[in-house]
């Protein structure tokens, strides 16, 4: 028998207007002075202002921290921890896209740690070094349907000194309550809907193909991909479709739940270009997807055929699945080549390849990788030629 340790996510409240229950989530967790962590773009938005008013009407003394950038940094976390302590907060509401969620979770985790954030990188048993006595309770409210950080036990944070994105892990990064309200994603522009949706697809796809034994994750990943196939284009074409938005939120949370099994080279290649070139993570995942698929073909073909059958593609072959991905990207206006969004003058192949190989996601790739493999995948993604 194969041996593995399984985990399942947390309490999730779903449905239209569930954001109105945010105060009940605070009371359930005995949070009286929450720190609401969001990004600068959402800070003065209608949804934030309405949520703040609702909390204040319920006598919840909310504080707001919005010093969060698109590829969040260790400085964002450090400043958030200081703000949390200064305002005597007793819990975190992580509210926004993946960046705000990642920073919010990291703030809650770091409020009483003696070691640095980087000491908890997702390597070996680093997480066991943590002081778990005062980790703050977390409520997660995603406003994009992509990262699935709301059901994840890690945050991806950029170390500005090294220029490397680090995955910081601890089981208690997992929020205690998640609110999935599709109305919060109605205002997402089509291009963000596309990129975040492809991010969710990458999570489910890589989780299913990753090495390891986790049939629960495999089942979740398959259903996540089915929802994305059915609803992503509808959400992209009609952003006001509540049903599509709800299903994409679900698929994103499912992707994060599934990828506790592992990820792979799509993410290994993405993290360095996100860190060094400030490219949107979902967009880079979407671009790298077919190059990684074709590179891994010899070891994942049987799994891809199973996915194709489950998705009821007309062509239930590896090539049929690949063509579906390529066609989906076209319909979503996703560029085919990395060179379409990254100037070759800023393309440091050697540095990117080394960073990609060292990325924690690399270990989950179904095919063993070398630095030369990473270079080849980067070069193919720049030229547009599949393997």
Residues 175 and 212 placed together within one structural domain of the fold: no
CB 117 within 8 A of CB 165: no
How many residues does the structure list for the chain?
Answer: 387
Give Cα separations from 321 to 259, 310, 380 (angstroms).
Answer: 20, 11, 19
CB 353 within 8 A of CB 271: no
- What average pLDDT score do residues 86-115 get? 97
Residues 232 and 374 placed together within one structural domain of the fold: yes
Give Cα separations from 332 to 74, 190, 196, 367, 373 (angstroms).
Answer: 32, 8, 11, 29, 28
- Give the residue from 185, 208, 233 where a domain finishes: 185
Residues 6+ apart with CB under 8 A from 213: 2, 3, 4
- Give the residue from 145, 167, 185 where a domain finishes: 185
Tell me the per-residue pLDDT of 121-164, one tens digit each, with 9 for 90 and over.
998 999 999 999 889 999 999 999 999 999 999 999 999 999 88
DSSP assignment, residue 73?
Answer: B
- What average pLDDT score do residues 8-33 get? 94
In this structure, is residue 2 part of a structural domain?
Answer: no
Residues 103 and 221 placed together within one structural domain of the fold: no
In this structure, is residue 150 part of a structural domain?
Answer: yes
- What average pLDDT score do residues 338-346 get? 90
pLDDT exceeds cutoff 90 at 385: yes
pLDDT band at 44 (very low <50, low <70, confident <90, very high): confident
How far, in Å, CA of 100 to CA of 37, rounded?
A: 6
Check which CATH number belongs to the domain holding 214 and give it: 1.20.1090.10
Check which CATH number belongs to the domain holding 158 and give it: 3.40.50.1970
Question: Tell me, what's the pLDDT at 220?
Answer: 97
Residues 199 and 297 placed together within one structural domain of the fold: yes
How many independent structural domains does the chain possess? 2
Residues 16 and 102 placed together within one structural domain of the fold: yes
Tell me the per-residue pLDDT of 168-200, one tens digit each, with 9 for 90 and over.
999 999 999 999 999 999 989 999 999 999 999
Considering the entire predicted model, what is its pTM?
A: 0.94
Which residues form the domain of 142?
Answer: 11-185
Question: Tell me, what's the pLDDT at 4?
Answer: 63
Residues 130 and 149 placed together within one structural domain of the fold: yes
In this structure, is residue 6 part of a structural domain?
Answer: no
Residues 169 and 287 placed together within one structural domain of the fold: no
pLDDT exceeds cutoff 90 at 68: yes
């Amino acid at each position: 028998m194969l041996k593995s340790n399984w985990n399942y996510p947390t309490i999730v409240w779903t449905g239209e207007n569930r954001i109105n229950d945010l105060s009940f989530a605070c009371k359930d967790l005995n949070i009286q002075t929450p720190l609401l962590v969001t990004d600068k773009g959402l800070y003065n938005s209608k949804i934030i202002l309405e949520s703040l008013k609702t909390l204040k009407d319920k006598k919840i003394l909310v504080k707001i921290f919005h010093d969060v950038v698109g590829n969040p940094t260790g400085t964002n976390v450090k400043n958030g921890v200081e703000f949390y302590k200064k305002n005597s907060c007793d819990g975190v509401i992580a509210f926004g896209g993946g960046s705000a969620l990642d920073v919010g979770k990291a703030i809650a985790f770091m409020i009483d740690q003696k070691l640095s954030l980087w000491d908890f990188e997702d390597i070996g048993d680093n997480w066991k070094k943590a002081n778990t006595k005062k980790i703050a309770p977390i409520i997660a409210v995603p406003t994009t349907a992509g990262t699935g950080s709301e059901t994840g036990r890690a945050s991806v944070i950029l170390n500005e000194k090294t220029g490397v994105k680090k995955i910081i892990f601890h089981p208690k990064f997992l929020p205690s309550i998640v609110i999935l309200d599709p109305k919060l994603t109605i205002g997402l522009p089509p291009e963000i809907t596309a990129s975040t949706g492809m991010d969710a697809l990458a999570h489910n796809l890589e989780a299913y193909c990753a090495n390891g034994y986790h049939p629960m994750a495999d089942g979740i990943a398959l259903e996540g991909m089915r929802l994305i196939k059915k609803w992503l284009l509808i959400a992209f074409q009609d952003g006001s479709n509540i049903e599509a938005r709800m299903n994409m939120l679900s698929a994103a949370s499912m992707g994060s739940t599934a990828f506790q099994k592992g990820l792979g080279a799509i993410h290994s290649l993405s993290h360095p270009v996100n860190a060094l070139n400030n490219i949107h993570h979902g967009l880079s995942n979407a671009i790298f997807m077919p190059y990684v698929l074709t590179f891994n073909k010899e070891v994942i073909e049987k799994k891809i055929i199973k996915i194709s059958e489950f998705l009821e593609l007309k062509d239930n072959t590896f090539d049929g699945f690949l063509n579906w991905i390529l066609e989906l990207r076209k319909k979503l206006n996703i560029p085919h080549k990395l060179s379409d969004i990254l100037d070759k003058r800023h393309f440091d192949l050697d540095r990117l390849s080394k960073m990609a190989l060292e990325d924690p996601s690399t270990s989950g790739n179904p095919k063993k990788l070398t630095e030369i493999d990473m270079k080849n995948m980067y070069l193919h993604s720049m030229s547009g030629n599949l393997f």
